[in-house]
Chains A and B, each alone.
Chain A
Amino acid sequence: MTASVIARLSEDVPHRTIILLGIVLAALLIAPWVVNDYLLTVLIVALYSAYTGQAWNIMMGFAGQLSLGNALYAGVGAYVAAFLFTKFGIGPWIGFLACAPAAAACGAIIGFLAFRFGVAGVYFAILTIAFAEFARIGFDHLAIVNASAGLFLPVQQYAHNDLWRLRGNPMMFYYVILVATVLAFILCRLLLRSRIGYFWLAIREDEQAARAAGIDTFRYKMYAVMISAAVTSFAGVFYAFFYNNLFPEQVFNIGRSIEMVLGPVIGGVGTLFGPILGAFVLNGLAETLNSAMSAAGLDLPGAKEVFYGLCLLLVILALPEGVWPPLARRLGIDKGMR
């Protein structure tokens, strides 16, 4: 079983790609031991963005369904996990077993309404925004999770990292999100190379032709939305336990959804490395800008958002496929990686 999964993972992958992957992974494993606390937080945010981007990519990059409301799934994950923890003392890992189906169910409702009644393209995107907004406003009035006053996880000093309850120092959180990102990458590669992946790509390329080839497009689009939602919900669990506070205004904010889209768009929609590369490029540049501005003594609120906008504009103009595909061709590793 394990052997066959490993065989499938490395199938058609050139040696150069495996070596490159090894180097990147080694660098990421060593990183927390050589960077300072601030940079460690930046890396955590970058990995978080890579993870959520990877999950968004399942829906848009693979199955061609544009979601601009993935904050909904992260938010549901965050609230369900935090609620179970604060009210019943149920840890995040068990909590995730409830978060994933809850988020998938939200995705299923949106998907059903859209795909059943032929809501597609930008109209689908608007529907996803609408549901994220419903959640934001709804949770703002939901007394059981403290409504707009916010839900807080108890914070204490911990002598040891408690991985089971996700209580501990940033280094533990770093490794948790790193492992999650690696697992999401592996999941996406396996999905993409299986029957479901071929059907998704067919739907993305030409839905009518996909139907003519016998694909039940409704069903496979539902799978894409539900899997993307379930994967995204873990990001919410992580968010809740890392930041220890949840406000509907923040977690369901459309800005969170847009941030999940930026990484893959800049890195390369539909590619496996795009979301990761895009997340690091974007967060790296934003932090450079940040430190440059504080060195110059400037304090401009909203500068980061303007900067994101500029990055997006530049990539769309200069590299419409995203940064990764041309880079992969340059490195000679564009074969077999899908």
Chain B
Amino acid sequence: MTALLSLERVSKRFRGLVAVDGVSFAVPEGAIFAVIGPNGAGKTTLFNMIAGAMAPDAGTIAFAGEPIAGLTPDAVCRRGIARTFQLVRPFPALSVEDNVIVGALLHRRDVGAARERARELLRRFDLFDRRHRPASALTLPDRKRLEVVRALATEPKLLLLDEVVAGLRPTEVDRMVAVLRALNRETGLTILLIEHVMRAVMALAARVLVLDHGTAIAEGTPEAVVRDPAVVQSYLGAEAV
């Protein structure tokens, strides 16, 4: 498998603080890849650099063989990388359906066609019967799903999920995991996720990268990573023992 996304010694510092320090990894096409690590490990900074929200200070980011570091977020999205936000931000006053139509219009000119696609996705994520409600009226789990649906509507090749199951109940976590796995299996969508909920990481990811204080301390299959002494020490800690 070829790498769809590859990072080469990517660094980012904020004043004195090194948030991400020379991180390299590659996400193969069609894979589900997770980045885990304690709070403040630099996961979201890493995400923001891939999504174009901030430019790295050093290193290269390549998507489908082309450098993307320093592109604007909209340009990154148009190339096929869609993201969700850790603190969900749907368009509050717009209806659930209109939120998704906005995404679907990225590669479609016709509003009718975008609406068709939006409804298809809303059905898949069990939001179809709530499609006329304003996004602000949804519960948190629904808003999280809406965020994923809106991102998917832009027809990405790579989906970046920032803590998409955090704050959900275990049954809701399982439901989200099932939908994401099905999407990955059926459409070959590549997924890169940041996650705290190990239940979701273990069920979804084929490979895991562990960040701690901005550096990659381990990479491998989820089973191997959770047994790695360095990881247990820094991250899973008391929870795992």
Chain A residues positioned under 8 Å from B111 (CB to CB): 193-195, 198
A198 engages B89 (CB within 8 Å): no
Complex CA–CA separation, A212 to B151 (angstroms)? 8
Complex CA–CA separation, A122 to B102 (angstroms)? 26
A153 at the interface (CB under 8 A from B): no
Interface positions, chain A 165-217, Cβ under 8 Å from B, are 193-195, 198-199, 201-202, 205-206, 208-217
Give the shortest distance, in Å, between B113 (CB) and chain A (any CB): 11
B78 at the interface (CB under 8 A from A): yes
Contact flags B69-108 to A (C-beta < 8 A → 1, else 0): 0001110011000110100011111100010011101100
B109 engages A217 (CB within 8 Å): no
A212 engages B85 (CB within 8 Å): yes
Chain B residues positioned under 8 Å from A205 (CB to CB): 91-94
- A213: nearest residue on chain B (CB-CB)? B103
Interface size class of B (residues with CB under 8 A): 20 to 34
Complex CA–CA separation, A73 to B204 (angstroms)? 56
B154 at the interface (CB under 8 A from A): yes
Give the shortest distance, in Å, between B135 (CB) and chain A (any CB): 9
Complex CA–CA separation, A195 to B114 (angstroms)? 9
Chain A residues positioned under 8 Å from B102 (CB to CB): 198-199, 201-202, 210, 213, 215
A213-B92 CB under 8 A given contacts A198-B101, A202-B102:
no
A201-B98 CB under 8 A given contacts A206-B91, A209-B85:
yes
Chain A residues positioned under 8 Å from B78 (CB to CB): 214
B55 at the interface (CB under 8 A from A): no
B150 at the interface (CB under 8 A from A): yes
Contact of A206 among B82, B89, B109 (CB under 8 A): B89
Complex CA–CA separation, A195 to B150 (angstroms)? 15
Chain B residues positioned under 8 Å from A194 (CB to CB): 111
Complex CA–CA separation, A217 to B102 (angstroms)? 13
Chain B residues positioned under 8 Å from A206 (CB to CB): 89-92
Chain A residues positioned under 8 Å from B74 (CB to CB): 211-217
Give the shortest distance, in Å, between A210 (CB) and chain B (any CB): 7
Contact flags B31-72 to A (C-beta < 8 A → 1, else 0): 000000000000000000001010000000000000000001
Chain A residues positioned under 8 Å from B98 (CB to CB): 198, 201
- B72: nearest residue on chain A (CB-CB)? A211
Contact of A208 among B89, B93, B106 (CB under 8 A): B89
B90 engages A209 (CB within 8 Å): yes
- B109: nearest residue on chain A (CB-CB)? A195
Chain B residues positioned under 8 Å from A213 (CB to CB): 74, 77, 82, 102-103, 106, 150-151, 154
Complex CA–CA separation, A159 to B90 (angstroms)? 60
B106 engages A215 (CB within 8 Å): yes
Looking at A206, A209, A211, A217, the one whose CB has the most chain B CB atoms below 10 A away is: A209
Complex CA–CA separation, A210 to B90 (angstroms)? 9
Give the shortest distance, in Å, between B100 (CB) and chain A (any CB): 10
6 A-B pairs (CB sep. < 8 Å): A193-B111, A198-B98, A201-B93, A202-B102, A211-B77, A213-B103
Q: A201-B98, A202-B91 are in contact. List 20 more A-B contacts (CB 8 A).
A: A193-B111, A195-B111, A195-B114, A198-B105, A198-B111, A201-B102, A205-B91, A206-B92, A209-B85, A209-B89, A209-B90, A211-B73, A212-B77, A212-B82, A212-B83, A213-B77, A213-B102, A213-B106, A213-B151, A214-B74
